[in-house]
Structure formats: structure tokens, C-alpha cells
Amino acid sequence: MWCENEIEYILEHLQDPERLMDGEFVEWLEKKEHLALFEKIRNQREAFLRLQQEGNIDINVEFRCFESKISSRKSLWRKGGWVAVAACMVLAMVVGIVMKNDESSPLLSEEVTDLTGKKCAELILADGQRIKLENNEIELQEGDGTLIVNDTNLQLVYLHDTTRSFADTAKLRYNILKIPSGADYLVKLSDGTRVHLNCETEFRYPVKFAAGERRVYLDGEAFFEVEKAKGWPFIVETDRMHVRVTGTKFNVKSYRSEEVVHTTLVQGTVKVNTTEDWAEAEELVPLQQYYLDKRSGQAQVKQVDTALFTDWIEGRFVFKDQRLEEVMSTLARWYSVEVFYTTPSVKDWRLSANLGRYEHIDTILKMIQATDKVEIVRKKNTITIGWK
């Protein structure tokens, strides 16, 4: 039997669709029994509202009947702001509306071939050898003698070079990390810098850095925690952006396939430019973002909530008043799905959400659909979205 508090909890969130995206509520729905109850209540509410709109139910008559049936359970309905919604829910049961989830909701439950939540990567050594990194402990040596360890914390570690012996610039040995869809990984470079790599990212870096600079190459998204070293700059190079620091925390998102790239600063200072003309570069302070539109070539620096751009390393999807197309682009990359829209205008619908990054895709789609604004159909790895 469901307790009244659980039903009340769901009703409060149904009354305010924006609260359906709250991280705490989404986490509560991780339990299958909670999600099942939510689906049942939401479906019954929708069915009742349809009957009311068609004129098949007189809400006043039914509500008086309903009141007499639950007079001994008034605690469940004491919050006046949603009493009408609660009445709708129980009235739906009274008039015998029973609908199965798969009959009332267009969202199908066919399995995605590759579920999310993985910690995995492919490591390509300087000699071309390829190694899969996942739940495996690995210890190996590069050609220059550097020890590389993949440990039980699912991170790749290049043992910290305490002597700081530098590599000859002409003889730098590079490794590459490739992160697939639905995965992320952490690497600790030989200088002690930690790099969190997001899905569909390729990261190229020296096994041991040269004396003049620490330069790495990125296609995708990464959060950097750069080890401080005065006079030894750390440079991140992408196809359209160069970032220079000595020690700081920042996020770089620069996928070749996307029209917008940006660098978001959490701590310290960074210089950003489209070239290596550092005299003309923008210097950021914490809570600022360098934003570049590749189509127009226009760049700007703006204040931002850094959590919106960095909480992915904490296992969260955080969106604030973002276009649906932008939200679904992020989800599509993570879950390796294709998204189609029945009408262009639905792409511009804006929403806010704080969602678990390791949820099953259906849990997140149901949260979006529960706003009653859009209708979503998923068939395996294809998602179609239209207005409701």
C-alpha cells in the first residue's frame, strides 16, 4: 500500500511542472516502485482532465461525492493550492479510469543498445598500441620509461614526475585518450594536472612535458585542474580556441561538430583567444565564460553560473532556461541517440532541470514529458518530440 505522504509528494510536483526536474525528486524516482506510482497517478490525472474537457464529468457533483468518501482522510488534502488536482486524481479512480502506462503514454520502453553510466576509455600509446580502460587494473611503461597505471578508482595515472625532468621538444611522445558516448574518464598527467574527460572526447597529450610549456590538444569537453608551476604555462589547444594558464580550474567545451565553443573559469585566471596572440587575448576571472560562435566568428565574455557548465563532473545534468534543442543535444551525445522534431518550434521551448547523469534515458524523458508541454516517442535509439 502506498502511504499518503508519497501520493502527496507526487501531487505537489505535478501541480508545479518545473519542480518535476528537481534533482531530489528525480533521485526519488530512481526506485521502480516510486516511478510506477508516479506514472499511474499522472496517467489517471490526464485521463480525468480529458473527460472533463469532453463534458463527460461534472466536477462539482463528483467532487461532492468524493468529499463524502474521504472525509476521514482530510490530512491528505489539507494543502489548498493543489486540492483540485488531488480531487481529480481520486475522482479518476472513483469513476474507474484504469490505464496502463504503455497505453496512455506515447513513450516506448525499448532498450537503448548502450546504456549510460560507464567509466571507460580507449588509450592509444605512442607506438599505436590500443588499450581498453574500464574495470581493469593496468600497469605499463611507455617507451621513455614513464610508468602508467589504470587504478581501481577508474582513473589513468602518469606517475608524478617529482624530479621534473623534461622531455626533449623534438622527441615528445604523445598518448591519446578517446572517450565513447555514455562515458567519462579521469586522467592524471605527469605534472600532476587532473583532467576530467566528457563523452565523445579525444584528448592528446605528451607522456612527459617539455621545459618551455605544457601543451595538450582537445576535441570535445574537459574540466582541468592544472597543477601550479610558475614559468611553466599550461596550454589547451582546440580547433578554434587556445587557453593559457599556470594553475587553475576551468572547463573547456569545444566539439568540432558544434557551432559554439566556450571556456568557463571556476578558479584562478586564464587567457583565451582564437590564436596564440596572448597580448590580444581575453583574460578571465572566476565566474566568467569566453563564448565563441564559430559561424559568425563573434566572441564575448560574460558572467555565468559555473555549475551549469561543470556539474557534469559531479554526475549531474544541470540546465537553466535552455532551449529544448540544446538540452536534447547534450542528452543525445551522452546516450548515443538521434533526436527528431515533428515541428521546428518545439526546439525553442525552454526548460530548467537538475537531473542525474547516470539515470536510464527513459527516466529523464518521462520527466520532460510530465511537464505536459511535449510528447515524446522513443524507438530504440531514435527519439521523436512534438508539441502535446
Question: Residue 55 corresponds to which amino acid?
Answer: G
Task: Count up the domains in the chain and report the number.
Answer: 2
Which stretches of 257-305 are assigned E, i.e. beta strand?
260-267, 270-273, 282-284, 288-293, 299-303
- Residue 364 sits in the same domain as residue 245: no
- Percentage, residues of the chain above pLDDT 90: 46
Asked if the structure places residue 324 within a domain, the reply is yes
- Residue 272 sits in the same domain as residue 324: no
| Domain end point (choices 309, 325, 348) | 309
**Taking a C-beta distance cutoff of 8 angstroms, is the pair 206, 142 a contact?**
no
- In this structure, what C-alpha cell is assigned to residue 152? 581501481
Asked if the structure places residue 264 within a domain, the reply is yes
- Angstrom distance (rounded) from CA 67 to CA 65: 5
Neighbours of 129 (CB within 10 A): 9
pLDDT in tens, 95-126: 333 333 334 455 655 555 555 678 899 999 99
Chain mean position to CA 126? 32
pLDDT value at position 79? Answer: 44
Q: What is the sign of the dihedral through the CA atoms of 305, 14, 41 and 337? A: negative
- Residue 274 sits in the same domain as residue 351: no
Q: Kindly state the average pLDDT of the residues 302-326.
A: 93
pLDDT value at position 375? Answer: 92
Chain mean position to CA 219? 18
- Residue 288 sits in the same domain as residue 335: no
User: Which CATH number covers residue 362?
Assistant: 3.55.50.30
Residue 19 DSSP one-character state? G
- Residue 135 sits in the same domain as residue 252: yes
pLDDT value at position 99? Answer: 34
Asked if the structure places residue 102 within a domain, the reply is no
Minimum mean pLDDT range among 5-9, 71-75, 103-107, 145-149:
71-75
**37 phi and psi angles, rounded to 5 deg:** -65, -45
**Taking a C-beta distance cutoff of 8 angstroms, is the pair 186, 156 a contact?**
yes
Asked if the structure places residue 88 within a domain, the reply is no
Closest CA to 42 of 82, 15, 18, 62: 15
pLDDT in tens, 330-377: 999 999 899 999 999 999 999 988 888 888 888 889 889 888 889 999
- Residue 259 sits in the same domain as residue 371: no
**Taking a C-beta distance cutoff of 8 angstroms, is the pair 249, 228 a contact?**
no
pLDDT class of 12 with cuts at 50, 70, 90: confident
pLDDT in tens, 134-165: 878 889 888 777 889 998 777 899 986 556 56
Asked if the structure places residue 165 within a domain, the reply is yes
- Residue 243 sits in the same domain as residue 373: no
- Residue 252 sits in the same domain as residue 275: yes
- Angstrom distance (rounded) from CA 157 to CA 139: 10
- Angstrom distance (rounded) from CA 93 to CA 358: 34
pLDDT class of 42 with cuts at 50, 70, 90: confident
- Residue 291 sits in the same domain as residue 320: no
pLDDT in tens, 240-266: 999 999 889 999 999 998 889 999 999
**Taking a C-beta distance cutoff of 8 angstroms, is the pair 379, 111 a contact?**
no
pLDDT value at position 53? Answer: 61
pLDDT value at position 346? Answer: 95
Question: Residue 321 corresponds to which amino acid?
Answer: D
- Percentage, residues of the chain above pLDDT 70: 76
Residue span of the structural domain in which 321 resides: 315-387
Higher pLDDT, 19 or 197: 197
pLDDT value at position 36? Answer: 76
Asked if the structure places residue 17 within a domain, the reply is no
- pTM exceeding 0.85: no
- Residue 166 sits in the same domain as residue 228: yes
- End-to-end CA distance of the chain, in Å? 32
Asked if the structure places residue 28 within a domain, the reply is no
- Residue 281 sits in the same domain as residue 325: no
- Residue 381 sits in the same domain as residue 269: no
